[in-house]
Structure 1
Amino acid sequence: MATPQQTTSTVGHPGDQHLEAGFPAFRTDTYATQLVWLAIAFGGLYYLMSKIALPKVAEVLENRRERIAADLDAAAKAKQESEAAATAYEEAIASARAKAGALAKETQDRLAAESAEERKRLEAELAAKLDAAERTIAERKAQAMTNVRGIASDAASAIVERLTGRPADQKAIDTALTNAKV
């Protein structure tokens, strides 16, 4: 087997002699063109930044600032509204408590008046029943007293007959009962 031969070529490129001289940024023969391209690149970059990028950034920042201010204003308004609602709520509660207290007082007074009227009516009813009961007692007592004379007369007559063995004199018993006030 045959071994391939390696050949070296000395054919160069036209810019190869400059490459061997050192770092391009430090080469003095290209300073002028480097400065021109630096100025062109910087100018282009400055133009792009000042006309396109920075206005968009400024617009975004301004929009954000306006949104934050609007949000702060909305938050302040919401806070005022919530404070007003809380105040109105407290006033409504105080008013409701006052109304409830007045209603409770009115109800208590009305119930006390009704209770007093009912008590007076019951007292009058009880007084009428008591008077009727006292009259009934007095009538029954009077009726019983009329029966007591007859019972006393019969009892005295039976006692005399039992003790003496003869019938008693009814006139003498009536006279004795009249003197005894029976």
Structure 2
Amino acid sequence: MINAMTLMGLKLAAAPAGGENAAEKVFPPFNPDYFATQVFWLLLTFGILYFLLSRIFLPRIGQTIEERSSRIADDLDAASRMQKEAEEAEKSYERALADAKAKAHNVAETTRQSVDAEIKVEMDAADAEASKAAEAAETRIRGVRAKALANIESVASEAAQATIEALTGKKPTLATVKKALN
């Protein structure tokens, strides 16, 4: 608190040169006559302010802070739950994708094997047809060759007869020419 010397010094400093109204010219908050009323109003104002803060404002602020913290906690819980659900969904997606890839591979492999089997059957059938056609061609060729060989003797005899006739001017008999060729 302010000591008495300071108060008197303030009174003297604030006193006018005339001296009569010196007590009236003191700065009112420092005037000891008003200390009791100032303390009363200070305590009353502080009490009202303390009551308002402790009973009305601080509980509302505390409630708001609690609501916000519980909302934040709920949001964090929801976010972690959603993150776990997303991770599970990703795992199930990856499993489904792997299963689909395996199934597609199996289908492709089965299809390839069946196509290979069909191609082999068709190739065997084509080979069998080609073999039959080759045998038929060989049979015809043998027949034509045998026929040609059978006719070659007569053709050679006739050619030799024509050559001898052209060279000598005489036509030999076919039997003589055949006898000479053999």
TM-score range, shorter-chain basis?
0.7 to 0.9
The 1-side partners of 2:180 and 2:104 are apart by 80
| Counterpart selection for 2:107 from 103, 106, 128 | 103
* Matched residue, 2:171: 167
User: Number of aligned pairs?
Assistant: 162
Matched, 1:54 2:53: no
* Structure 2 SS opposite 1:128: helix
In structure 1, list runs of 5 or more residues that go unmatched: 1-16
Q: Normalized against structure 1, the TM-score is what?
A: 0.79
User: Higher relative contact order at CA 8 Å, sep ≥6: structure 1 or structure 2?
Assistant: 1
C-alpha RMSD of matched pairs (Å): 2.0
Identity over aligned pairs, percent: 40
Matched, 1:143 2:147: yes
Q: Normalized against structure 2, the TM-score is what?
A: 0.79
- Quickly say closer, same or farther: Cα 1:18–1:119, change in 2 above 3 A: farther
* Matched residue, 2:89: 85
- After superposition, the C-alpha distances for 1:50-106 in whole angstroms (9 at most, x for unaligned) are 221111101110110111011001110111011101111111121122112212211
Shift of 1:136: 1.6
| Counterpart selection for 2:161 from 145, 157, 162 | 157
Letter in 1 for 2:142: A
* Matched residue, 2:33: 29
In structure 2, list runs of 5 or more residues that go unmatched: 1-20
| Counterpart selection for 2:122 from 111, 118, 122 | 118
* Structure 1 SS opposite 2:172: coil
* Matched residue, 2:7: none
- Quickly say closer, same or farther: Cα 1:25–1:60, change in 2 above 3 A: same
| Counterpart selection for 1:71 from 60, 69, 75 | 75
